[in-house]
Amino acid sequence: MSTPAVRQPEPDRDPGLQPERTRLAWRRTTLSATIVAVLAVRAALHGGPSTAGVLACALCCVLWLGFLAVAHHRIRTLTASPSPVALAPRHATAAVLCAVAMAACGAAVVL
């Protein structure tokens, strides 16, 4: 009679890798948003300041600050514990709305 095969327990995945990748992704996205905001300001003020250009720049900068606040909160959360909680729906919605609105402001400034 053969002995039953003993199943080896599967090794746990390293919980530190996924939060680290997510934290780095938030940093890259924040850097991209910063570049968009700077380029929008540069494009709006290139030919001399106009009222519409200054308003678009101001809105783009406010949206950038909103995105930066959400990203900073998420990066702190990911760094604080080895098993971070999921991103709250209101924070995810705020990040998406800021990014989309910033892209629209950037497009309006360029056109």
Supply the pLDDT for residue 93.
Answer: 92
Tens-digit pLDDT profile for residues 16-55: 677 788 888 989 989 988 888 888 788 777 878 888 778 8
Q: How far separated are the first and last CA of the chain, in Å rounded?
A: 80
Tens-digit pLDDT profile for residues 58-105: 888 888 898 899 999 888 888 887 777 888 899 889 889 988 888 887
Tokens of 7: 């199943």
The angle that helices 51-80 and 89-110 make with each other, rounded to 10 degrees, is 150
Q: How far apart are CA 106 and CA 111, in angstroms?
A: 9
Q: How far apart are CA 32 and CA 39, in angstroms?
A: 11
Residue matched to tokens 């514990």: 81
